[in-house]
Amino acid sequence: MPKYETTRRVRHTPEEMFELVADVEKYPEFLPLCQSLVVRSERERDGKRLLIADMTVAYKMVRETFTSQVLLKPEDHQIDVKYVDGPFRYLDNRWTFEPAGEAQCDVKFFIDYEFKSRTLGLLMGSMFDFAFRRFAEAFEKRADEIYGPNPS
């Protein structure tokens, strides 16, 4: 039921932003609510990588782990995330990185999800909504730290 979509222009290339978002194991270092992320398996085929990953999110006394399938498509500058198991009824997430001039790109972030439990939805829903709205900003800040701020 909750759905969020945003486009954010950043002063980094699509390739830089793709690599940053694709480096899922670093998420606990900078991503809101992300306590840990472990890649369970990884396969590569036709220039695409498929990861199965467990992400643990925590807020105050609530801690939940969920499993996702992450499809990395570098040629398309796109990352698709599909829910596998955990506290959600469903979760669909997509990142797209489109060129927008020299050393710039538009980062498009989309997420649609629903908790299985109404109680958990009430407890965590507003915090998840807040965190998801901050994701694009968190990745932009991380890109500035890693690649340096590119003056426009």
130 CB contacts (<8 Å, ≥6 apart)?
Answer: 32
pLDDT, residue 148, reads: 87
Per-residue pLDDT of the chain (152 residues; tens, 9 = 90+): 678 888 999 999 999 999 999 999 999 999 988 999 999 999 999 999 999 999 998 877 778 899 999 999 999 999 999 999 998 899 999 999 999 988 899 999 999 988 888 877 776 667 777 777 777 788 889 999 999 876 54
Residue 85 CA to chain centroid, in angstroms? 17
Contact 80, 136 (CB under 8 A): no
Which residues partner with 143 through β-bridges?
none
Domains of the chain with CATH codes: 3-146 (3.30.530.20)
Instruction: Give me the residue label for tokens 């499809």.
Output: 71
**Amino acid at position 4, single letter:** Y
* Cα–Cα distance, 136 to 25 (Å, whole number): 17
pLDDT, residue 150, reads: 63
* Cα–Cα distance, 108 to 136 (Å, whole number): 8
Compute, in degrees rounded to 10, the torsion defined by CA atoms 34, 38, 41, 45.
Answer: 50
pLDDT, residue 33, reads: 84
**pTM over cut 0.85:** yes
Identify the helix (H) or strand (E) that includes residue 7: strand 3-10
